[in-house]
Amino acid sequence: MRALPSVARYAELLGVAEAVLHGESDLVASAANLTALLWEHLPDLNWVGVYWVGGTPHLARLADAKAPDGLPRELVLGPFQGKVACVRIQFERGVCGAAARSGETQRIADVHTFPGHIACDVASRAELVVPIRNTQGVVIGVLDLDSPVEGRFDEIDQAGVEALARLLTPVPSS
């Protein structure tokens, strides 16, 4: 992908991701390809990956969940690109936990100022974490991007990554 202004870069990346993920019902496979696309095409990242609520054994149940009641309050590592990562994150901890708990995107310019930040990679300075939802709006995971550059993510990055995360919305089994 050629160097483009941010809005155009995300529009092109969204088109590529839609083509790659089209018709794929396996969320793990889709997440693996999406994280690889982000890693390959976005500059200044040192980690990108997905954490699933409760881990992959719960994905089928998560796809149909109508409410978060009874779902695990823990994120478990899914497909990623970058250095070895934290495997489990409680909803009460870190930027990923805050996104899962609140259901809101977390865009942090300097992670060292974020209370309870989990330093999986000490080189990380900025983080963007976007909730992944099922068709009922229940958070089933998060898409996490880390950068060694303080202030790396802006509103355009947030909107672009939120659009990409929506591609991971599972199709209900019923």
Question: What is the reported pLDDT for 33?
Answer: 98
Mean pLDDT of the chain: 90
The confidence score (pLDDT) of residue 62 equals 73
- pTM, entire model: 0.92
Cα-based torsion angle of the residue sequence 117, 85, 30, 75 in order, rounded to the nearest 10 degrees = -50
Given this model, what pLDDT does residue 72 score? 75
Hey, what CATH topology would domain 6-168 get? Beta-Lactamase (3.30.450)
Q: Per residue in 34-67, pLDDT tens?
A: 999 999 999 999 999 999 998 876 777 777 777 6
Beta-strand ranges (E) seen in the chain are 47-53, 74-82, 88-90, 106-108, 126-133, 139-147
Q: Is the pLDDT of residue 71 over 80?
A: no
Per residue in 147-161, pLDDT (tens digit) is 999 999 999 999 999
